[in-house]
């Protein structure tokens, strides 16, 4: 019988060879490796040490599985667009924005210099790139966290030449087994209450990320204001947020019946960057 070289870990006795077009078993887990039962909460009998094999992730052939995944991704794009009309309408634009986020996340912990386009001025911000969301980056400077929208970034310079080797998909590779079980069986509940996991799986927009800073004092640089606007972040929605201004500042929007004295509503489109004390 014609033999074909393969990398089947279970074919050690055949010197890593198997019949051509023959069965090639999946990854083999030796008997001496403990079985944690995927952190199951149920009490099970003590198992007899036995070699185990990884099960395939689908009964479909690889080509059919790829076609199915393409269809599912198209459906998911449609559902995301319906569920959030503020996202870019073009799937290609959403994909480019997601790729931009992944590129910036590859630069985390790197020293960067960001040139911010603020109307007719360019502002340089030097700091450590801490995180990148769906439409913003977080740069930590001395004593401050600065949040910069993608559309305000002119240039971003860095010296991290190994950034391209970063693999986003491997971030959760070494997490605790019990946490992995919770994500597997209760994905929506677990991911939905963790901004970090939302950002890893989907990309979190700036307005959702800022919810954790409600009640905190922030400073905002806008296109129309020469000075930073300081106040308490008291309300956020998808398009704008509201500040309760410091008493000594006279920064009340004119001709806006919805703004009481000492408050100001700012559109996200007008924001050059947001600064919060560390």
pLDDT above 70 for 18 = no
The pTM of the whole model exceeds 0.75: no
Judged by average pLDDT, the poorest of 7-21, 123-137, 152-166, 185-199 is 7-21
Task: Check: CB of residue 123 under 8 Å from CB of residue 153.
Answer: no
Q: Average pLDDT over the chain, rounded to whole?
A: 80
Give the 3-state secondary structure of residue 144.
strand
* pLDDT of the residue at 114: 96
* pLDDT of the residue at 142: 93
Task: Check: CB of residue 203 under 8 Å from CB of residue 101.
Answer: yes
Q: Please tell me the distance from the alpha carbon of residue 73 to that of residue 53, in angstroms, as a whole number.
A: 29
Task: Check: CB of residue 224 under 8 Å from CB of residue 264.
Answer: no
pLDDT above 80 for 81 = no
**Phi-psi bin for 21: left (phi > 0), alpha (psi -120 to 50), beta?**
left
Q: Is 220 exposed, middle or buried (0-12, 13-18, 19+ CB in 10 A)?
A: buried
pLDDT tens-digit series, residues 59-78: 788 788 888 988 888 777 66
pLDDT tens-digit series, residues 187-230: 999 998 898 999 988 899 999 999 999 999 999 999 988 899 99
Smallest CA-to-CA distance from 168 within 202, 137, 136, 193 is with 202
Q: Stretch 131-157: mean pLDDT, rounded?
A: 95
Q: Please tell me the distance from the alpha carbon of residue 94 to that of residue 16, in angstroms, as a whole number.
A: 44
* pLDDT of the residue at 258: 44
Judged by average pLDDT, the poorest of 86-90, 179-183, 261-265 is 86-90
- Locate the domains of the chain by residue range: 1-26, 86-278
Tokens for 92?
């290609």
Smallest CA-to-CA distance from 243 within 275, 207, 270, 216 is with 216
φ/ψ of residue 53, rounded to 5: -130, 140
Q: Is 6 exposed, middle or buried (0-12, 13-18, 19+ CB in 10 A)?
A: middle
Tokens for 221?
């640089």
Q: Stretch 115-135: mean pLDDT, rounded?
A: 93
Give the 3-state secondary structure of residue 126.
strand
Give the 3-state secondary structure of residue 145.
strand
Q: Stretch 6-18: mean pLDDT, rounded?
A: 52
- In this prediction, residue 7 has a pLDDT band, given cuts at 50, 70 and 90, of low
């Amino acid at each position: 019988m014609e033999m074909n070289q393969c990398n089947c870990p279970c074919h050690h006795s055949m010197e890593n060879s198997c019949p051509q077009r023959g069965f090639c078993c999946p990854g083999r887990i030796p008997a001496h490796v403990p079985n944690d039962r995927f952190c199951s909460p149920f009490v099970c009998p003590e198992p007899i040490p036995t070699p185990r094999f990884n099960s395939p992730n689908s009964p479909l052939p690889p080509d059919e599985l790829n076609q199915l995944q393409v269809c599912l991704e198209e459906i998911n794009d449609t559902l995301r667009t319906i569920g959030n009309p503020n996202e870019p309408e073009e799937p290609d634009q959403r994909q480019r924005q997601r790729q931009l986020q992944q590129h910036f996340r590859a630069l985390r912990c790197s020293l960067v210099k960001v040139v911010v386009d603020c109307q007719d001025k360019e502002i340089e911000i030097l700091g450590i790139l801490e995180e990148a969301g769906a439409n913003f980056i977080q740069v930590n400077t001395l004593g401050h966290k600065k949040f910069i929208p993608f559309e305000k970034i002119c240039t971003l310079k860095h010296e991290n030449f190994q950034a391209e080797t970063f693999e986003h998909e491997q971030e959760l590779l070494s997490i605790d087994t019990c946490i992995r079980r919770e994500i597997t069986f209760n994905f929506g509940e677990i991911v939905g209450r963790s901004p970090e996991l939302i950002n890893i799986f989907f990309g979190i927009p700036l307005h959702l990320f800022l919810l954790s800073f409600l009640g905190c004092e922030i400073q905002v640089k806008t296109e129309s204001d020469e000075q930073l606007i300081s106040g308490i972040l008291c309300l956020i929605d998808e398009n704008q947020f509201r500040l309760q201004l410091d008493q000594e500042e006279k920064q009340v929007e004119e001709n806006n019946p919805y703004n009481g004295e000492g408050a100001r509503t700012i559109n996200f489109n007008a924001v050059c960057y947001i600064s919060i004390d560390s």
